[in-house]
Amino acid sequence: MKEELRIPVGIEGFAHPVCSPLDHGVPHHHDELEVNLVLSGSAAYLFGTERLPLVAGSMVWLFPRQEHVLIDCSPDFSLWVVVFKPGLVERHAAHPQRCVLRSPDPGSLFCRQLESGDVDALNRVYQSASIGGDDAEFANTALAYALIASWQAFQFSPDAIARTDVHPAVAKAVRILAETEGAMPLAKLARAAGLSASRLSRLFKEQTHVSLTTFRQRQCLERFLRIYRAGARYSLTEAAFLAGFGSYVQFHRVFRRQIGKSPAEYGRDLKAATPAGL
């Protein structure tokens, strides 16, 4: 799924610290180059049929045509998400040592484990890039430096991150769930993936470290968040059923477990944070 990122006009990217992300559980890609630097906890990326484990200090480059999905996030997982528009990359990655960053897909995964000193230095760089506000000149200069500094730290790190293969049926199930609106029975999903329901469930848990049930519930929750936060005039219950939950009781249970508050509390907080008139 191609994602359209919201980047202010005149700004050539962004740097955001993210904790326990819930909006990255759908396979996606976008036109912009992205780099992630993990600060704490653990998680994993799925790239097609490859699983990439992430821990503190992991750096991953995500190129425009590399579809990816973040899974298995620990409660304390946090990372920097830094995004660069194509124009900025074209101007600042012309040097032979950086020209690979201009590729939409270099044909392999670029992921390494950084030393703590490099993580601390980049954390300061990203903090500077995150506070540009309306000052486009400052923000774009900070983002350009973040691009170059990130690639330099990556190049000087000798520690590659070991990846593992996942069964094609598991990768296919992830894709099907991402592209299906509403709930899909397990038996139907298994047939579409080409395995029995029991074998698919077992392989999914073994290879992604997330149960198929939990993954499906998370997909529904992310769909709910997109529907409800889009400003459409849906009630919590209507948005929950549109997202694929079978009952409000199930939705309430999953929501509280994943978000840490009730749907009603979330709705009140969202309204309080929305400017009047929007």
Rounded to whole angstroms, the Cα distance separating 222 from 243 reads 8
Q: Are 183 and 67 within 8 A, CB to CB?
A: no
What per-residue confidence (pLDDT) applies to 79?
A: 95
The single-letter DSSP state of residue 68 is: B
Structural domain contains residue 174: yes
What's the CATH code of the domain at 100? 2.60.120.280
pLDDT tens track of the chain, all 278 residues?
A: 778 888 989 999 999 998 866 545 567 889 999 999 999 999 999 998 999 999 999 999 999 999 998 888 888 899 999 999 999 999 999 999 999 999 999 999 999 999 999 999 999 999 999 987 778 999 999 999 999 999 999 999 989 898 999 999 999 998 888 777 767 889 999 999 999 999 999 999 999 888 888 888 888 888 888 788 766 678 889 888 888 888 899 999 999 888 888 998 888 887 776 544 43
Amino acid, res. 29: H
Q: Could you tell me if 115 and 220 lie in one domain?
A: no
Counting other chains too, the contacts that 262-270 makes at CB distance below 8 Å and 24 or more residues apart are: 263/236, 264/236, 267/228, 267/236, 270/228, 270/229
Structural domain contains residue 278: yes
Q: Could you tell me if 191 and 257 lie in one domain?
A: no
What per-residue confidence (pLDDT) applies to 277?
A: 40
Q: Could you give the number of structural domains in the chain?
A: 3
What's the CATH code of the domain at 276? 1.10.10.60
Structural domain contains residue 261: yes
Q: Which of 240, 236, 229, 242 is nearest to 278 (CA)?
A: 229
Q: Could you tell me if 235 and 176 lie in one domain?
A: no
Q: Could you tell me if 79 and 171 lie in one domain?
A: no
The residue from 181, 209, 237 where one domain ends is 209
Q: Could you tell me if 33 and 125 lie in one domain?
A: yes
Range of the domain at 196: 167-209
Structural domain contains residue 255: yes
For the beta carbon of residue 175, count every other beta carbon within 10 angstroms: 18
Tokens of 8: 């202010």
Structural domain contains residue 8: no
Q: Could you tell me if 148 and 178 lie in one domain?
A: no
Q: Which of 49, 34, 278, 1 is nearest to 146 (CA)?
A: 34
What per-residue confidence (pLDDT) applies to 80?
A: 97
Cβ-in-10-Å burial (0-12, 13-18, 19+) of 166 comes to: buried
